[in-house]
Amino acid sequence: MSARKGPLVVEMEEAADPGAAPPVPEVSGAAMQGAVRIAARPRSRLTGWFWAAFSALFSFVLSVAAWNFVTGLLARNLVLGYAALALVAVFVAVLLLIALRELAAFARLRRVDGIRAEAEAAAGLGDLKAARHIVGRLSALYAGRGELAWGRQTLDERQGEVLDADGLIELAERELLGPLDTAARREIEASARQVAGVTALVPLALADVVTALAANLRMIRRIAELYGGRSGVLGSWRLTRAVMTHLVATGAVAVGDDLVHSIAGGHVLSKLSRRFGEGVVNGALTARVGVAALEVCRPLPFRALPKPKVSNILARGLQGLFGDKSGEADT
- Per-residue pLDDT of 61-98, as tens digits, reads 988 998 898 898 888 888 888 998 899 899 999 989 98
Going from the C-alpha of 36 to that of each of 215, 253, 261, the distances in angstroms are 12, 8, 18
pLDDT higher than 60, residue 31: no
Identify residue 138 by its one-letter amino acid code.
L
By the 8 A CB rule, do 277 and 267 touch? yes
In contact, 300 and 119? CB cutoff 8 Å: yes
Show me where the domains of the chain are located: 53-317
Q: Is the backbone of residue 23 left (phi > 0), alpha (psi -120 to 50) or beta?
A: beta
pLDDT grade for 327, boundaries at 50, 70 and 90: very low
User: Kindly report the CA angle at 239 between 290 and 58, in degrees rounded to 5?
Assistant: 140
What residues contact residue 242 under an 8 Å CB cut-off, 6+ apart? Answer: 296
Q: 312: Cβ–Cβ under 8 A, 6 or more apart, which residues?
A: 327, 328, 329, 330, 331
Q: For position 25, what pLDDT does the model report?
A: 45
pLDDT score, position 86: 92
Q: Are 260 and 284 in contact (CB under 8 A)?
A: yes
Q: Of 170 and 315, which is predicted with more confidence? A: 170
Decide: 297 and 219 in contact? Cβ < 8 Å.
Answer: no
Q: Using CB atoms within 10 Å of the CB of residue 70, give its burial: 0 to 12 exposed, 13 to 18 middle, 19+ buried.
A: buried
The answer to whether 32 and 278 are in contact (CB under 8 A) is no
The answer on pLDDT for 235 being more than 80 is no
Nearest in space to 230 (alpha carbons), one of 62, 46, 105, 70:
105
What angle is formed at CA 90 by the lines to CA 87 and CA 91, rounded to 5 degrees?
85
Per-residue pLDDT at 139 exceeds 70:
yes
Within 13 Å and on the Cβ side, how many CA atoms surround 279? 26
Using CA atoms, how far apart are residues 33 and 31, in angstroms rounded to an integer? 6
Let me know: does 28 contact 255? Beta carbons within 8 Å: yes
Predicted local distance difference test score (pLDDT) of residue 49: 85
Amino acid (1-letter code) at residue 29:
G
In angstroms, the CA 94 to CA 79 distance is 23
Question: In this structure, are residues 39 and 244 in contact, taking their beta carbons and an 8 Å threshold?
Answer: yes
Roughly how many angstroms between the first and final C-alpha of the chain, as a whole number?
Answer: 80
| pLDDT (tens digit per residue) in 185-210 | 999 998 888 888 887 777 776 777 77
Report the candidate in 139, 141, 145, 142 with the shortest Cα–Cα distance to residue 157.
139
**Residues 272-312: pLDDT tens digits?**
466 677 777 778 888 888 888 888 888 988 888 888 888 78
Overall pTM > 0.85: no
Q: What is the pLDDT of residues 94-138, one digit of tens each?
A: 989 988 888 887 888 888 888 888 888 877 777 788 888 888 888
